[in-house]
């Protein structure tokens, strides 16, 4: 059974640390809040996720190209994009616990509790009516559910109105009216709500008098927008086309908990798709569909994913939704898909004084393209994969194993090779096999402890296949190949290994 609750998040965090996936940053100095380092296996998994995304987005689309823009950008970029003025979160402090919260998150969590009540009602009814149960009909007609839903709608409407009118007093009043208490102190003794800008700043230039304040980018997207014409012209790109990028982003998050879910330094995989004005909704739907397909191609059960339409649209969007994932702490945003209109390009035209237009030869006219953006957090994808993969299994013989059932093509170590014993030429033969496979697959040699213990170690780090070299190998050049998920073993000729693994790690079908 895959995990679904906070206790299991703790297990995943300690497993990730124990096996070299994720460490707290600067741990010997007691760590740095909401900053993490990826260890020897974590960095491999991260690299594999990036490669898979890049393949799906860039390599598989002839009209999408990738770039790698700098983290530092001219400070005017962030005025143009609206981040200097509007990239704020509403924060509120509890006067008793002195803890700081995002006001919108407090309200969302309150709504989440009402949603959970509706879910419980549905589960109870399902148990009562069995196969005859019609969930949609139940949710649309049950009086308790309808009462709860109208409360949710009322809260959402009030919150949306407050945010649209910059009415922070109204947000505080909503928190008070809902009688939301601090989870730590239990008190309702709140400060006023204030806006807090999430961008980190630093100075560029070596002489303090002339140094300029610059920002660490809070999203990678702006590096794409400012390069729109460079790429379009040098790549002779024709609309519709996309520019993709993977890179670090930085946000001084107010609430920085939940492991690598919300970090102050993280990585995004973003793609801006430039389209004709008026065609953006068609492409918005297209990319919603493409992106959910990408997530589902990872082999994680579909029930872990859902779409969530935004109530409060970001300053640049005319339509937006999230792909949410059922993390150990519940359904949360994994990816954002936004129809960003021509906002960013027009703003950069205005602030730079340079034209950012496209001449459409079919229409025989110039225009500022509209943009549909897909933006997925690399670290959140990592956490989604890790949490769905983490399983504690009781086996038929009564023993237990912890296994990371990571999709084989993403696993950090693809193949482990064991000599049955440390003599009789078996280690040398195992090394020969590694030398044959290592050009294509990351392999690991292990000769310590019993083969059973070695299997457990590889299960725990998610290695999909283990090869054991034994005395028969020396006679007939065959080995056993053990499958992580089924634990079944088959005897295979060494000369057939490359073909076998080619098929096992093939992503062709997934990308189709
Ligand atoms: N360019 C659009 C943009 O940045 P966003 O919804 O703010 O949109 C996109 O961020 C994705 O980046 C999110 O869906 C999430 O996966 C990831 N992300 C955002 N903030 C993050 C944080 N503090 N830590 C980890 N990932 C984060």
Residue range 383-396: average pLDDT? Answer: 95
Distance, CA 255 to ligand 1 centroid (Å)?
Answer: 14
| 247 and 343 housed in the same domain | yes
Which residue has 């213990």 as its token pair?
453
DSSP 463: -
Ligand 1 neighbourhood includes 377 CB (under 6 angstroms): yes
Nearest CA to ligand 1 atom 25: 262
Distance from Cα 303 to the centre of ligand 1, integer Å: 22
Residue 335's closest CA among 305, 312, 313?
305
**86 pLDDT exceeds 90?**
no
Average pLDDT (152-178) is 94
For the stretch 407-455, pLDDT in tens is 999 999 999 999 999 999 999 999 999 999 999 999 999 999 999 999 9
The reply to whether ligand 1 has any atom less than 6 angstroms from the CB of 335 is yes
Examine the domain organization and report whether 161 and 96 are in the same domain: yes
Q: Whose CA is nearest to atom 21 of ligand 1?
A: 262
**33-47, 284-298, 310-324: segment of lowest average pLDDT:** 310-324
- Domain range for 101 is 88-197
Tell me whether residue 241 is in a domain.
yes
**Cβ contacts of 462 within 8 Å, gap of 6 or more:** 41, 389, 403, 404, 405, 406, 411, 412, 413, 484
Pocket test for ligand 1, best of 252, 259, 291, 336 (most atoms within 8 A of CB): 336
What is the share, in percent, of the chain residues with pLDDT greater than 70?
98
- Please state the rounded mean pLDDT for residues 457-462: 98
Tens-place pLDDT, residues 34-75 = 999 999 999 999 999 999 999 999 999 999 999 999 999 999
Q: Is 379 in the pocket of ligand 1 (CB under 6 A)?
A: yes
The CA-to-CA distance between both ends of the chain, in Å, stands at: 29
**Percent of the chain scored above 90 by pLDDT?**
88
Q: How far is the CA of 377 from the centre of ligand 1 (A)?
A: 5
Q: Give the Cα separation of 445 and 500 in Å (integer).
A: 19
Domain presence at residue 406: no
In b/e form, how buried is each residue of 327-347, taking b as 16+ CB within 10 angstroms?
A: bbbebbbbbbbbbbbbbbbeb
Q: Are 371 and 318 in contact (CB under 8 A)?
A: no
pLDDT, tens digit (0-9, with 9 covering 90-100), for 262-279: 999 999 999 999 999 999
* Residue having the nearest C-alpha atom to atom 14 of ligand 1: 335
Q: Do residues 383 and 253 both lie within one domain? A: yes
Domain containing residue 272: CATH number:
3.30.930.10
The answer as to whether 202 is a domain residue is no
Neighbours of 447 (CB within 10 A): 18
**Residue 316 pLDDT:** 78
pTM, entire model: 0.89
Best of 33, 266, 305 for a ligand 1 pocket test (most atoms within 8 Å of beta carbon): 266
The single-letter DSSP state of residue 368 is P
Mean pLDDT for the stretch of residues 504-511:
91
Residue 407, phi then psi, degrees to nearest 5: -50, 130
Q: Are 224 and 272 in contact (CB under 8 A)?
A: yes
Number of domains forming the structure of the chain: 3
306 & 221 share domain: yes
Q: Domain ends where: 136, 169, 197?
A: 197
* pLDDT of res. 2: 45
Q: Are residues 349 and 216 in the same domain?
A: yes
Nearest CA to ligand 1 atom 6: 336
Other beta carbons less than 10 A from residue 18's beta carbon: 11
């Amino acid at each position: 059974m895959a995990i679904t609750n906070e206790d299991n998040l703790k297990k995943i965090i300690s497993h990730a640390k124990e096996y070299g996936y994720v460490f707290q940053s600067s741990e010997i100095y007691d760590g740095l809040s909401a900053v993490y380092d990826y260890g020897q296996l974590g960095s491999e998994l991260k690299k594999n996720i990036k490669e898979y995304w890049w393949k799906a987005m860039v390599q598989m689309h002839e009209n999408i190209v990738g770039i790698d823009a700098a983290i530092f950008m001219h400070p005017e970029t962030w005025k143009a994009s609206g981040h200097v003025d509007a990239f704020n979160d509403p924060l509120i402090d509890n006067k008793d616990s002195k803890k700081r919260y995002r006001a919108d998150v407090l309200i969302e969590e309150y709504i989440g509790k009402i949603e959970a009540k509706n879910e419980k009602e549905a589960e109870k009814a399902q148990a009562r009516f069995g196969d005859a149960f019609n969930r949609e009909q139940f949710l649309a007609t049950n009086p308790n559910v309808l009462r709860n839903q109208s409360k949710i709608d009322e809260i959402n409407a009030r919150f949306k109105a407050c945010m649209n009118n910059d009415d922070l007093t109204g947000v505080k009043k909503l928190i008070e009216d809902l009688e939301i208490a601090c989870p730590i102190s239990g008190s309702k003794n709140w400060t006023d709500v204030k806006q807090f800008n999430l961008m980190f700043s630093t100075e560029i230039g070596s002489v303090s008098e002339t140094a300029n304040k610059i920002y660490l980018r809070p999203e990678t997207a702006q590096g794409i927008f400012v390069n729109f014409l460079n790429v379009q012209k040098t790549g002779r790109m024709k609309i519709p086309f996309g520019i993709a990028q993977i890179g670090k982003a930085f946000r001084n998050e107010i609430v920085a908990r939940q492991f690598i879910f919300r970090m102050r330094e993280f990585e995004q995989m973003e793609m801006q798709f430039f389209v004709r004005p008026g065609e953006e909704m068609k492409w918005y739907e297209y990319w919603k569909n493409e992106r959910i397909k990408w997530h589902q191609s990872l082999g994680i059960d579909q029930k872990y994913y859902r779409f969530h339409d935004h109530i409060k649209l970001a300053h640049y969007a005319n339509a937006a939704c999230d792909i949410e994932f059922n993390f150990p702490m519940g359904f949360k945003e994994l990816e954002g898909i936004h129809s960003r209109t021509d906002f960013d390009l027009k703003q950069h035209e205005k602030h730079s004084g340079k034209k950012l237009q496209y001449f459409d030869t079919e229409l025989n006219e110039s225009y500022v393209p509209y943009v549909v953006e897909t933006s997925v957090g690399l670290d959140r994808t990592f956490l989604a994969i890790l949490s769905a993969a983490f399983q504690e299994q009781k086996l038929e013989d009564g023993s237990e194993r912890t296994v990371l059932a990571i999709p084989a093509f993403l696993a950090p170590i693809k193949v482990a090779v064991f000599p049955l014993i440390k003599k009789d030429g078996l280690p040398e033969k195992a090394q020969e096999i590694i030398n044959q496979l290592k050009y294509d697959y990351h392999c690991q040699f292990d000769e310590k402890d019993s083969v059973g213990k070695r299997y457990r170690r590889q299960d725990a780090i998610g290695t999909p296949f283990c090869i054991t070299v034994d005395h028969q190998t020396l006679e007939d050049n065959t080995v056993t190949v053990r499958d992580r998920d089924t634990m079944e073993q088959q005897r295979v000729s060494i000369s057939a290994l490359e073909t076998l693994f080619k098929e096992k790690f093939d992503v062709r079908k997934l990308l189709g």
